[in-house]
Chain A
């Protein structure tokens, strides 16, 4: 009898012990899965799925449960509804994804009040991270690419005058503002600044580009929300014969996402971008990442900068789960645990700045070339190590609040 009681106690201790240890962490993933921008969501979603598939063993005995929702059009309205539902109904403990800046801007008060950490995998308007102490960003700020591109365009590409063209929503204004600040500081002159309509649909870029062509600047800096828009830019730029007319196409890497690059054809060759990732970046982690990607999604599917950020995002979340031993109920502890997190990922060395909760990463100036194997690729023209978000460093506008 006494033996039986001991056995019962031992069994009880075992069950209590194991339930206390093995946690299931509920993660809400919000990405655009519908509409013309669905592509962007899929690029990140594939990276998330791949990371989870390969690395679930790393956080054992804990597990993650993923709840996916459609971010909808780039207005933030649908994102706000589905994310609020994820918090109140599904009780997710960590939120991630978020391609569009308007989504992150709209959600700041919700996330702050609910104290749920939101790990941003794309949305790049610089001041977003200032909106909530529960925001951590693994992707980039528009200033990561735009600001250094200003000086590079003036001194290395030979742009004395430039025209700006951007999709008319917060990151578009932010990216062109970043470029303009850097470009004018270096001595360049901006001739024209043209808003090109809403991000919800791909416009006919011709009238906008024709105007730039007629104004004859040395370069045009274009921001669009990547994906299908990028294909449209290459098409209009090629059709108008703008390179022949002496107008160079430059911008952030959104212009040449790797999964669209091969379809762009000759029109894209010579485009120079500033960015944190390309399939052709030469580092061991990137090679391994590409190999796993092709194994999972086929040889004609390519990851791009969004996928690379998605991969690092899930990596940071997994490392944090491990660090906290599955105890992620307290949102502020999760955020604290992420501060200063660093790794060597497909993009090279990335670190979460403890002060701003934004990413610190290497930036590369890259030119599109035709590679010896006939495919389009990039050539790295120059690299700057450990670049911070310059908007917050210089406390410009809303970045200073």
Chain B
């Protein structure tokens, strides 16, 4: 393959894998923020929790990596309902500052808890044979794990898109994001809807956390380390927008990878440059309501 085509394929492939991770973690955050305007800085902590559940299940109980991912997503999603009912709902009408204080506090508590049980050193996870090494597609080879990430991401996007755009619940969520008071007055139970999306969002974050172990390793600081990135994806995409989150994840994932590949000296600069540029032109993000 010609040199430049090879470079382009490398960047697109790695960028796409990275974008899938960003999308999976951020989509729940975006929808819950769009729905309730609730600033949830503990979202990264749910992702981290998912990662540690996967580590425990695979390392201690010998459960396979893929089943462990599924269990982690459901377990964390279920536990998040307890937090939502017990803590979050008390602050729905509160100011942004109070919400930020509660959730960042939760994130720090999660970091301390994870450090206590798992220690500060990054954990890795045993992968099944078929996810290790690389696969050859004829014209060149690709790392198997990243290929898996892209396929899984594509399937999730299809499922979520269907649920969001074609089902009754999806229509209700969109209605509530658009105009909450109107949605409530036509009889939509927005509280219940929120609990549901919160659980799904946290479950997806946990899935993302489990998938990230192989990419970045998993340490307690995961809860806040990548939070800025998730928030950037949400802000650039537009609050509550499924399409926007997907587009933002793709743009930021591919540009970050391209920056690191082509011009490593500037490090992570490109992500921030793009963020500033997009928000200057569209302050509410790609598909946000102004």
Whole-angstrom CA separation of A239 from B132 in the bound complex: 7
Kindly state the separation between the CA atoms of A202 and B219 in the bound complex, as whole angstroms: 10
Interface string of A133-145 (1 = CB under 8 A from B): 0000000000000
Does B138 interact with chain A (Cβ within 8 Å)? no
B121, B134, B214, B257: the one contacting A38 at CB < 8 Å is: B121
* Interface flags, A230-265, vs B, CB<8A=1, else 0: 011001001111000000000000000000000100
Given A204-B215, A207-B260, A239-B143, list of 13 further CB < 8 A pairs?
A36-B217, A38-B121, A168-B267, A195-B264, A195-B265, A197-B268, A206-B146, A207-B261, A211-B10, A231-B122, A235-B214, A240-B143, A263-B124
How many Å lie between the Cα of A133 and that of B90 in the bound state?
A: 60
A201 within 8 A of partner (CB): yes
Q: Is A109 interfacial (CB-CB < 8 Å)?
A: no
The answer to whether the Cβ of A39 comes within 8 Å of any Cβ in the partner chain is yes
Interface size on A, residues (CB 8 A): 32
CB-based contact A202/B261 at 8 Å: no
B-contact 0/1 string along A170-205, CB 8 Å cutoff: 000000000000000000000000111110011110
Chain B residues whose CB sits within 8 angstroms of the CB of A168 once the complex forms: 267
A203–B261 Cα distance when bound, in Å, is: 13
CA distance A232 to B132 in the complex (A): 14
- Which positions 94-147 of chain B face chain A at CB distance < 8 Å? 115, 119-122, 124, 132-134, 141, 143-146
Distance of A214 Cα from B133 Cα, bound (Å) = 17
24 of the cross-chain contacts (CB-CB < 8 Å) are A36-B121, A36-B122, A36-B221, A38-B120, A38-B121, A198-B267, A201-B216, A202-B216, A203-B216, A206-B143, A206-B215, A207-B257, A207-B261, A208-B260, A208-B264, A210-B14, A214-B3, A227-B121, A228-B219, A231-B122, A231-B124, A239-B144, A239-B146, A241-B143
Residues on A with C-beta less than 8 A from B10 are 210-211, 214
* Chain B residues touching A, majority SS: helix
Q: With both chains docked as a complex, state the minimum distance between the C-beta of B237 and any C-beta of chain A, in angstroms.
A: 22
What separation, in Å, do the CA atoms of A241 and B264 have in the docked complex?
21
* B7 near A202: Cβ-Cβ < 8 Å: no
A207 with B124: CB separation less than 8 A: no
Interface string of B4-22 (1 = CB under 8 A from A): 0011001100100010000
Q: Evaluate contact between B124 and A206: CB separation under 8 angstroms.
A: no
Asked if A34 is at the interface of the complex by the 8 Å CB criterion, the answer is yes
| Distance of A196 Cα from B225 Cα, bound (Å) | 17
Residues of B within 8 A of A208 (CB): 260-261, 264
Give the residue name and chain of the B residue nearest to A213 (CB).
B10
Q: Known A195-B265, A210-B261; judge A34-B133 contact (CB<8 A).
A: no
B216 touches A204 (CB 8 A): yes
Is A35's CB within 8 Å of the partner chain B?
Answer: yes
**Shortest CB distance B143–A (Å):** 4
Contact of B134 among A36, A39, A232, A241 (CB under 8 A): A241
- Report the bound CA distance from A202 to B144 in whole Å: 21
Expressed in whole angstroms, the Cα–Cα distance for A208 and B122 within the complex equals: 21
- CB-nearest residue of chain B relative to A202? B217
Complexed CA–CA distance, A214 and B14 (Å): 13
The reply to whether B124 and A38 contact each other, CB–CB distance below 8 Å, is no
With A195-B264, A228-B217 known to touch, is A241 a contact of B133 (CB < 8 Å)?
yes
Q: Which of A201, A207, A211 has the largest count of B CB atoms less than 10 A from its CB?
A: A207
- Chain A: which residue is nearest B136 at the CB level? A241
Q: Are A195 and B267 in contact (CB under 8 A)?
A: yes
Q: How far is the CB of A217 from chain B (nearest CB, A)?
A: 14
Interface pair A36/B124, CB less than 8 Å apart:
no
Complex interface: chain B residues within 8 A of A241 (CB): 133-134, 141, 143
Q: Give per-residue flags for A34-51: 1 if the beta carbon is below 8 A from chain B beta carbons, else 0.
A: 111011000000000000
The smallest beta-carbon distance between B171 and chain A, in angstroms, is 38
Contacts of A232 in B (CB 8 A): 217
Whole-angstrom distance between the alpha carbons of A196 and B121 in the complex? Answer: 20
Complex: A210 Cα to B262 Cα, angstroms: 11
State the CA gap A235–B144 with chains docked (Å): 12
Q: Which residues of A contact B264 (CB under 8 A)?
A: 194-196, 208, 211
Interface residues of B in 78-104 (CB under 8 A from A): none
Question: Complex Cα distance A241/B267, Å?
Answer: 24
Chain B residues near A228 (CB-CB < 8 A): 121-122, 217, 219
Task: Give a binary string over B192-219; 1 marks a CB under 8 Å from any A CB, 0 the rest.
Answer: 0000000000000000000000111101
Query: Chain A contacts of B141 at CB under 8 A?
Result: 241
Specify which chain A residues have a CB less than 8 angstroms from the CB of B18 in the assembled complex: 204
In the assembled complex, how far is the CB of residue B106 from the closest CB belonging to chain A, in whole angstroms? Answer: 20
Residues from chain B with a CB closer than 8 A to the CB of A231 are 122, 124, 217
Please report the C-alpha to C-alpha distance between residue A161 and residue B115 in the assembled complex, in whole angstroms: 43
A194 to B124, CA, bound (A): 25
Q: How far is the CA of A207 from the CA of B143 in the complex (A)?
A: 12
User: How many angstroms from the CA of A231 to the CA of B123 in the assembled complex?
Assistant: 10
Query: Which residues of the other chain, B, contact A239 by a CB distance below 8 angstroms?
Result: 132-134, 143-146
CB-defined contacts of A202 to chain B, threshold 8 Å: 122, 216-217
